[in-house]
Homo-oligomer: A and B are copies of this chain.
């Protein structure tokens, strides 16, 4: 058996949890290495060698080192194509549909939802002042995006078609916080098809394990 791949970063990070969900879906053994961001470990020279932007996660598989959660997830789907659940397509048409919804997540869904998650879930815990104007703007942006999703999910079970793919998975990290750690869960739950989709994707065993990891006390480091 090959050595476990390594993921650097805390599972509470949305980008780290995206990679963890992908590894669990693909049945890839992994080792999670803590990065204490409160102590600035992500900005230290040794860490910057593997993640030059000083962000989490970083990822290692034998001799390869990668950053950017969506790129890491694509690599996992590609390298481990023949194990676990199929998260990516094999012909240009299937791949293109997954790619377009994965890009919609990265470019349209992620920007407003990560602002809302930060402002509504993290800022209060960090005793930072919330920016009401920014919240309002991004709530309106996200509502428009979810209107498009609502229509799409009335036509197909998942974003890219009949099967759960990396495009759906990629929405789990921000979706989880929005629905469970802010008072704006209605953005998802008031839209019939989005709510049905969210129920399906967030109850997958892989994702439930990630949420458990998020709720476990961090290792004493």
**Residues on A facing B (Cβ under 8 Å):** 52-53, 64, 66-68, 70-72, 74-75, 78-79, 92-93, 95-96, 99-100, 102-104, 106-108, 111, 145, 148, 151-152
A75-B96 contact, Cβ under 8 Å, with A68-B103, A68-B107, A106-B106: yes
* Cα-based distance from A104 to B66 in the complex (angstroms): 11
Task: Among B79, B93, B111, point to the contact of A92 (Cβ < 8 A).
Answer: B79
Q: Interface on chain A toward B: helix, strand, loop, or mixed SS?
A: helix
Could you say how many copies of this chain the assembly holds?
2
10 shortest interchain CB distances as A-B pairs: A68-B103, A71-B99, A71-B100, A75-B96, A71-B103, A52-B148, A79-B92, A68-B100, A78-B92, A74-B99
* Given A52-B151, A71-B102, A72-B100, 10 more pairs with CB closer than 8 A: A53-B104, A53-B145, A53-B148, A64-B93, A68-B103, A71-B96, A75-B95, A78-B92, A78-B96, A106-B107
Which of A64, A68, A72 is most buried by chain B, counting CB atoms within 10 A of its CB? A68
CB A5 to nearest CB in B, in angstroms, measures 12
